[in-house]
Amino acid sequence: MKFLLEADLEKLAKWLRFLGQDVEVLKGAINKRDVLSYADRVFITTSKKWERHLASWGISYLIIPKDDWEVQLCLIVKYFRIKPKLLLNRCPYCNSQLISVSKEYVKDSIPPLVYEFSYDFTQCLQCESIFWKGTHFPKMEKMLKHILKRC
């Protein structure tokens, strides 16, 4: 699925990317030109004032409740039938695809203990961020289960 989120939904965007979704975030104020440049995406907003405009522009959209990113994520997962699995195949920062890399390839870019004890490294070709399944991964899985119980 391809989404476009308003600027204040960055945390939600990051979690949707963890689930393998292609998510772009509008920077700054919402305007017709920017929204139409992403016409192939579902626009996610918390503002009902855009509903009439989005409909007249022919943009697919979903209006979600404000403030609680966990409920927002749960609603989007359920509404779009997104498989609730941490795929971790997209960069949470820039949305680019991640590629698998060897430990040796990233050895000089990661802490020594990470090199010694971690595995399954990926890297973003766009922003060059490096990721691995460390002790945070089970916590992320637990958090996702908690979130899915909220809706």
Q: Which residue has the tokens 């899915």?
A: 148
- pLDDT of the residue at 151: 80
How far, in Å, are 8, 52, 113, 118, 138 from residue 148 at the CA level?
22, 30, 33, 28, 15
Q: What is the pLDDT of residues 66-98, one digit of tens each?
A: 989 999 999 999 999 999 999 999 999 999 999
pLDDT of residue 67: 86
